[in-house]
Amino acid sequence: MRKKREERLIEVYKKVKKDIGKLSKRELFLCGLFLYWGEGYKTAYTTTAIANTDPAILKFFIKWLKVVKIPANKVRVKIHIYIDMDKNESVNYWRTQLRLPKECFRSVYVKKSELSGLSYKNGFGKGTCNLFVYNRDLNEYVLAALKYFQNEVSKI
């Protein structure tokens, strides 16, 4: 049964790949805005930031920042882990995954409770990674874009 499912999913992936095709710069830009709409920090006045446990989402965010002309070395990284997690292992994991320079990495927040005490542990094995860009103009632009989307959706 598993083999049949895997074969089916391979075929579905091939169809999706054909249907979507290569993403344009505009499409990457829009996808990033929608990712930010769902996952981004929206309360800080000068900060554009996102947090997640999934490296693929954070890698996409870094790629999106390039589309909006923010170099990777402007990203600041903060990691949240639980007290029973290894700090160095988490930092090395995120450095390897995100391929950001060492100077981008800032503090590691260690939560006093234990990961082993959580009933839902999926995705938390290396902590939560937070990416920050301290840039007022970018923040205002992104929030204005989200407002534009909201206005357009209300017309539908």
pLDDT digits 0-9 by tens, 68-92: 999 999 999 999 998 888 999 999 9
The predicted structure's pLDDT at residue 44: 87
pLDDT tens for 1-58 read: 999 999 999 999 999 999 999 999 999 999 999 999 999 999 888 999 999 999 999 9
pLDDT higher than 60, residue 119: no
| Cβ-based neighbours of 113, under 8 Å, separated by 6 or more | 82, 83
Domains of the chain (ranges; CATH) run: 22-154 (3.30.1330)
Residue with tokens 């007290």: 83
Measure the CA–CA gap between 40 and 3, rounded to whole angstroms: 38
**CB 76 within 8 Å of CB 134:** yes
What single DSSP character describes residue 70? Answer: -
Q: What angle do helix axes 87-98 and 55-67 make, rounded to 10 degrees? A: 50
- Is-above-0.85 flag for pTM? yes
Which of the pair, 108 or 122, is modelled with greater confidence? 108
